């Protein structure tokens, strides 16, 4: 009830009683009569403010938008980034339709699910064996794994009843939000529905996302996602990074785009434009990163950093867990490798090594472990297959978070200011990161809803579109200029000889 704060507590002027009706209209059902002390002038101000609040409230209600969310990827951790944005749009009074594998259990008014169900979701599916003996070509193996997932999700979604229902309803949407990750399949659907597209990336930008947004690829210090390098790279590191960036982009162009095109054309006919071209129409991209964690990068205004949008208000912990944390005299170490990875699949020798090491510690340890039992589990260890990560991380007794450095966990650790092992660079600066993470001109959710309404109001935010989207890479990176300059230089040197 922000407007009550207009009156300083120590003010001793005359009292008036604001009509209960105003209170009711503002939906503050708990205040039947608001006692406010103020002079005539202050009352006028108060009245104007109330009127302004009322008119903006009514205006916001009237201009509600029809918003569609298309999220065919079955990974729950990705959906944790999209879900709060879609919910928050519904809570602002918009009509929101969400096509996904994860129906909302208690949807707000205006939030409508169309479930893609019937397909196994990807939680706890990654086997740790694939991380044994990694080689450099594994990054490309990972690419093909993502590509395969993308193809399956595209095929499944395009043939689903959910999509048939959506297309049959003859819906007109003001704006479409969709995940852009390992396939651009949904750009075909957006093309048929004729609405501007906001892309959401629950990871940092993929190598194939930069050019469509007119964002420069600078492999000298921006690591390609797949290599896991830091910003400071040696020459061999930069060489590997350059090759990764461009090869992954090429692989995407030659495998993923034609695969999505084939599925879309099979369903909607041969005149469907290529999703490679449609992707250039993406009006805006929300990306789950924040400069405090992933480093400042040159981004066009159409790429908006929303890292941490999924972090919610604190919830009370389970009684047993709360006691385990509170009574930890020497602090707590929290180990979790995210929702996708089954820690249980780790080689027995490594598991036993962790158990043995924990036994020797004074600290208590919480471990995300997907089995009810763990051989030789020490007394100072708490295991569970599901843990409220955000609330554990913000507990003052938690000293270290050992993570696979997934974005969700890392951003929650950044928010809570908990040091992380996996990305040691920010151990010392956990506090600074936490400050930058919490202090923004707008919260991540407010930023998200503001931009969605902007794209809808401007029918695609054309002013944000960088001219470079339609340029060749050769021209974009001035390679033609370098070529001309070096030819001139070579010719003049040859002339002088």
Our CB check for ligand NAG shows the closer of 151 and 290 to be 151
Q: How far is the CB of 142 from ligand NAG (least distance, A)?
A: 20
Our CB check for ligand NAG shows the closer of 377 and 404 to be 377
Q: How far is the CB of 151 from ligand NAG (least distance, A)?
A: 6
Q: How far is the CB of 26 from ligand NAG (least distance, A)?
A: 51
Our CB check for ligand NAG shows the closer of 345 and 443 to be 345
- 235 CB burial (10 A radius; 0-12, 13-18, 19+): exposed
Interatomic CA distance for residues 341 and 387, integer angstroms: 14
* Terminal Cα-to-Cα distance of the chain (whole angstroms): 82
Classify each residue of 420-456 as buried b or exposed e, where b means 16 or more C-beta atoms within 10 Å of its C-beta: beebeebeeebeebbeebeeeeeebbebbbebbbebb
Q: How far is the CB of 375 from ligand NAG (least distance, A)?
A: 7
Our CB check for ligand NAG shows the closer of 121 and 171 to be 121
Our CB check for ligand NAG shows the closer of 337 and 415 to be 337
Our CB check for ligand NAG shows the closer of 111 and 337 to be 337
Neighbouring-strand partners of residue 342: 127
Q: How far is the CB of 387 from ligand NAG (least distance, A)?
A: 17
Compute the 3-state secondary structure of the chain and give helix, strand, coil in percent, each to the nearest 5: 50, 15, 40
User: In sequence order, what E strands does 126-271 have?
Assistant: 126-127, 175-179, 197-201
Please list, in sequence order, all residues whose beta carbon lies within 8 angstroms of the beta carbon of residue 164, skipping any fewer than 6 positions away.
none
Our CB check for ligand NAG shows the closer of 101 and 151 to be 151
Interatomic CA distance for residues 167 and 103, integer angstroms: 19
Q: How far is the CB of 320 from ligand NAG (least distance, A)?
A: 20
Q: Are 364 and 332 in contact (CB under 8 A)?
A: yes
Our CB check for ligand NAG shows the closer of 104 and 148 to be 148
Q: How far is the CB of 450 from ligand NAG (least distance, A)?
A: 39
Q: How far is the CB of 344 from ligand NAG (least distance, A)?
A: 6
Our CB check for ligand NAG shows the closer of 337 and 451 to be 337
Our CB check for ligand NAG shows the closer of 217 and 263 to be 263
Please list, in sequence order, all residues whose beta carbon lies within 8 angstroms of the beta carbon of residue 79, skipping any fewer than 6 positions away.
71, 100, 101, 102, 202
Interatomic CA distance for residues 355 and 351, integer angstroms: 6
Q: Are 64 and 93 in contact (CB under 8 A)?
A: yes
Binding site for ligand NAG (CB under 6 A): 151, 155, 263, 371, 373
Q: What single DSSP character describes residue 93?
A: T
Residue matched to tokens 């992933």: 294
- Please say whether the dihedral angle defined by the alpha carbons of residues 92, 94, 95 and 98, taken in this order, is positive or negative: negative
Q: How far is the CB of 127 from ligand NAG (least distance, A)?
A: 13
Interatomic CA distance for residues 76 and 121, integer angstroms: 7
Q: How far is the CB of 102 from ligand NAG (least distance, A)?
A: 22
Neighbouring-strand partners of residue 366: 334, 382
User: In sequence order, what E strands does 83-223 have?
Assistant: 95-100, 111-115, 126-127, 175-179, 197-201
């Amino acid at each position: 009830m922000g407007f009550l704060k207009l009156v300083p507590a120590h003010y001793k002027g005359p009292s008036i009683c604001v009509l209960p009706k105003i209170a009711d209209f503002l939906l503050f059902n708990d205040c039947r009569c608001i006692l406010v002390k103020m002079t005539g002038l202050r009352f006028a101000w108060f009245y104007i403010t109330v009127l302004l609040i009322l008119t903006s409230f009514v205006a916001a209600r009237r201009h509600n938008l029809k918003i569609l969310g298309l999220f065919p990827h079955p990974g729950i951790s990705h959906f944790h980034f999209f879900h709060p944005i879609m919910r928050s749009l519904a809570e602002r009074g918009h009509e929101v339709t969400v096509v996904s594998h994860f129906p909302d259990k208690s949807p707000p008014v205006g939030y409508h699910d169309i479930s893609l169900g019937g397909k196994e979701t990807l939680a706890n599916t990654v086997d740790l064996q694939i991380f044994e003996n990694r080689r450099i070509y594994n990054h490309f193996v990972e690419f093909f794994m993502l590509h395969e997932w993308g193809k399956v999700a595209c095929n499944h979604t395009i043939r689903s009843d959910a999509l048939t229902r959506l297309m049959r309803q003859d819906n007109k949407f003001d704006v479409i939000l969709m995940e852009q990750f390992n396939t651009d399949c949904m750009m075909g659907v957006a093309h048929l529905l004729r609405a501007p597209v906001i892309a959401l990336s629950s990871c940092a930008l993929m190598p194939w996302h930069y050019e469509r947004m007119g964002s420069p690829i600078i492999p000298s210090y921006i690591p390609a996602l797949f290599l896991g390098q830091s910003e400071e790279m040696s020459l061999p590191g930069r060489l590997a990074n350059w090759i990764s960036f461009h090869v992954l982009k090429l692989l995407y162009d030659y495998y993923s785009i034609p695969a999505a095109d084939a599925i879309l054309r099979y369903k909607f006919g041969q005149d469907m434009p290529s999703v490679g071209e449609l992707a250039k129409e993406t009006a805006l991209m929300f990306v789950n990163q924040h400069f405090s964690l992933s480093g400042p990068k040159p981004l066009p205004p159409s790429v908006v950093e929303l890292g941490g949008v999924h972090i919610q208000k604190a919830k009370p912990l389970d009684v047993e867990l709360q006691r385990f944390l509170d009574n930890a005299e020497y602090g707590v170490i929290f180990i979790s490798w995210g929702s996708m990875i089954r820690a249980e699949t780790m080689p027995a020798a490594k598991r036993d090594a962790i158990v043995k090491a924990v036994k020797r510690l004074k600290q208590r340890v919480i471990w995300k472990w997907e089995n009810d039992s763990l051989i030789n589990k020490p007394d100072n260890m708490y295991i569970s297959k599901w843990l409220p990560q955000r609330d554990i991380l913000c507990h003052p007794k938690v000293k270290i978070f050992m993570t696979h450095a997934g974005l969700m966990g890392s951003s929650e650790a950044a928010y809570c200011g908990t040091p992380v092992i996996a990305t040691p660079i920010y151990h010392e600066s956990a506090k600074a990161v936490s400050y930058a993470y919490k202090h923004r001109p707008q919260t991540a959710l407010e930023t998200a809803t503001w931009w969605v309404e902007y794209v809808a109001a401007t029918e695609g935010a054309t002013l944000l579109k960088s001219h470079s989207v339609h340029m060749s890479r050769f021209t974009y990176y001035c390679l033609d200029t370098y070529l001309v300059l070096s030819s001139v230089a070579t010719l003049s040197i040859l002339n002088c000889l």
